[in-house]
A and B are shown apart, each in its own frame.
Chain A
Amino acid sequence: MAIELKNVTHVYQARVEMNIVALNNIDLTIEDGELLALIGHTGSGKSTLAQHLNGLLKPTSGKVLIDGEDINENRSKYRFEVGLVFQYPEYQLFEETVKKDIAFGPKNMGLTEDEINQRVKSAMELVGLNYEEIGEKSPFELSGGQMRRVALAGVLAMQPRYLVLDEPTAGLDPKGRYYLLNDIKRLHEQGTTIVIISHSMDDVAWLAERIAVMERGRIVKTGSPKDIFSQYSFLSDMGLDVPQASELSYKLIEKGVPIKNCFKLEELADELQNLLKNGGKTGA
């Protein structure tokens, strides 16, 4: 089915004098099986929105529905449906061993010992960590990239139907980033619905099927990566990056070069090959 946000508004009342509207009348449907990217400037409300998806924050007004039912009316039922991976999730690791840390979520769900073990094993497999090799290690002995994957496994072990990732690649080096993005892609192919929040347009271009652009607590645009990234000036006015392929094709099109806007390098290479070798006349 789907997660639906209906007229969701959230006002932070932490500071008494000023009520900060973090989310302003959000309407959004996250379809089952899709991979949606939320992009926007820091402070545009992306993380606040993410925390509404599993009931950590409750809307000041409006509703969050899963399969048509309000999640805040039946917390216990939907608590583990949406897995939320925070920014720098390795900072929440706390157990003595990797196994125990990943088991924390399933344990809280009240599963049996056998089930828990099973889930820990398969979650580690999903993120490419060797159960035999590092299961008994302390999570704090691992490299940064590995720690992050342990944290991700800790959420996956709860086997959520929906997975929300807040800046999953922040601070990783190119190799760590590559592994993690592959993990996410694989999870998605296996049927998990994924919402990813990212500043890295390269990550978004590589993964997303649909993009929602947020600004000042509103969703100002949704569309396919092709639609969104072809609007170079709209995005850069908002202070957002675009993938370099989009920027180049936009700038070439402005100079009258007859190519299509591409956001992936390989596509743009095809397009330019076609232009420069065949004069742009054949193919489309």
Chain B
Amino acid sequence: MRDFTLGQYYPVDSVVHRLDARSKILLTIAYIVAVFMAGNLIAYIPILAFVLLAARLSKVPGKMLIKGLRPLRILLIFTFVLNLFFGAGEHILFELGPLTIRDEGLSNAIHFTLRLIFLVSGTSLLTLTTSPVVLTDGIEMLCSPLRRIGFPAHEMAMMMTIALRFIPTLVEEADKIMKAQSARGADFSSGNLKQRATAMIPLLVPLFISAFRRAGDLAMAMESRCYHGGEGRTRLHVLRFQKIDFYAFVSVTLLIAAVVLSKNLINLP
């Protein structure tokens, strides 16, 4: 349960780590746009190059990135198979009984699978190189212009920090309660859907009660440490744009240009 990489910070010192969190968030958004813009397989070449370069610079081991894809493997296989066998297209490439593979289906299968892989590996680079606190700071500051129209930027960021902090605690707790109820003969893994849903009650009720108790405790602890919202607050992490942020923006602009270009190149007759 603990091996999800999404949201797992990998603390080393690298150029990518040192980038301003706001830049990284904007860059990631630009990167996502680029991935969605990729109209053909050639377009994935610059994207691959970009991810490899970023991964290299970030000093995050490739193993970590691949590990992040593992929870998605079923989705990946599903996407691939579904597109492969049920895709449209004029030419039938392969036929065996009810299974047919058509040209467009094949290219879609590869296309969508690659898109997913690139989306996940790119965004997990963001969370691997940015500590959750800095990340939420970045989000808060990017959203702060919206405060004028009543958007609770600070509160949102605080909620995210706390959620991140308590995920491991609650996962551990769920595991413990599950074991304790199993020791009383609870069965979480068999039966039909309805039986399984009912079987979750002995897990979920204590988990909710505990989450509420923790929330109450935490609120009191925060209050006693003088927390009173975002007003008048200073910060440990101050975000500053630097030269490297500029280079990063240049590189992602180049990426988008390359993707657009490859799309047009192939479309030439």
Please report the total number of A residues contacting B with Cβ < 8 Å.
Answer: 25
Residue in chain A with minimal CB distance to B185: A108
- Whether B182 and A56, one on each chain, are in contact in the complex, defined by CB atoms closer than 8 angstroms, is yes
- Whether A91 and B210, one on each chain, are in contact in the complex, defined by CB atoms closer than 8 angstroms, is yes
Q: Does B184 contact A (CB under 8 A)?
A: yes
Known pairs A93-B206, A104-B202, A140-B209; A56 contacts B184 (CB<8 A): no
From 74 to 100 in chain A, residues with beta carbon under 8 angstroms from any chain B beta carbon are 79-80, 83-84, 86, 89, 91-94
- Whether A92 and B181, one on each chain, are in contact in the complex, defined by CB atoms closer than 8 angstroms, is yes
Residues of A within 8 A of B209 (CB): 91, 94, 140
Known pairs A51-B179, A86-B179; A104 contacts B206 (CB<8 A): no
Q: Categorize the interface residue count of chain B.
A: 20 to 34
From 234 to 263 in chain B, residues with beta carbon under 8 angstroms from any chain A beta carbon are none
- Whether A80 and B176, one on each chain, are in contact in the complex, defined by CB atoms closer than 8 angstroms, is no
Residue in chain A with minimal CB distance to B67: A16
Contact flags A3-37 to B (C-beta < 8 A → 1, else 0): 00000000000111000000000000000000000
CB distance from B24 to the nearest CB of A (A): 27
Residue in chain A with minimal CB distance to B184: A105
Q: Does B183 contact A (CB under 8 A)?
A: yes
Give the CA-CA distance A92 to B202 in the complex, in Å.
8
Tally of A-B Cβ pairs under 8 angstroms: 57
CB distance from A79 to the nearest CB of B (A): 7
Q: Does A158 contact B (CB under 8 A)?
A: yes
CB distance from B50 to the nearest CB of A (A): 28
Q: Does B120 contact A (CB under 8 A)?
A: no
Known pairs A105-B184, A105-B185, A108-B185; A91 contacts B177 (CB<8 A): yes
Residues of B within 8 A of A56 (CB): 179, 182-183
Contact flags B2-42 to A (C-beta < 8 A → 1, else 0): 11000000000000000000000000000000000000000
Q: Does B92 contact A (CB under 8 A)?
A: no
- Whether B3 and A92, one on each chain, are in contact in the complex, defined by CB atoms closer than 8 angstroms, is no
From 99 to 123 in chain A, residues with beta carbon under 8 angstroms from any chain B beta carbon are 104-105, 107-109
Q: Does B180 contact A (CB under 8 A)?
A: yes
Give the CA-CA distance A84 to B183 in the complex, in Å.
6
CB distance from B256 to the nearest CB of A (A): 36
- Whether B182 and A91, one on each chain, are in contact in the complex, defined by CB atoms closer than 8 angstroms, is no
From 110 to 159 in chain B, residues with beta carbon under 8 angstroms from any chain A beta carbon are none
Q: Does A225 contact B (CB under 8 A)?
A: no
Give the CA-CA distance A105 to B182 in the complex, in Å.
9
- Whether A94 and B185, one on each chain, are in contact in the complex, defined by CB atoms closer than 8 angstroms, is no
Residue in chain B with minimal CB distance to A83: B183
- Whether B183 and A91, one on each chain, are in contact in the complex, defined by CB atoms closer than 8 angstroms, is no
Q: Does B201 contact A (CB under 8 A)?
A: yes
The 8 A-B residue pairs with the shortest CB-CB distance in the complex, in nearest-first order: A108-B185, A94-B205, A105-B184, A84-B183, A92-B180, A86-B180, A94-B202, A94-B206
16 inter-chain pairs at a CB distance below 8 angstroms, sorted by A residue, are A86-B176, A86-B179, A86-B180, A86-B183, A91-B177, A92-B181, A92-B184, A92-B202, A94-B202, A94-B205, A104-B184, A104-B202, A154-B184, A155-B183, A155-B184, A158-B185
**New A-B pairs, 6, CB < 8 Å, besides A16-B3, A94-B201:** A54-B183, A56-B179, A56-B183, A92-B180, A108-B184, A155-B184
Q: Which residues of A contact B (CB under 8 A)?
A: 14-16, 51, 54, 56, 79-80, 83-84, 86, 89, 91-94, 104-105, 107-109, 140, 154-155, 158
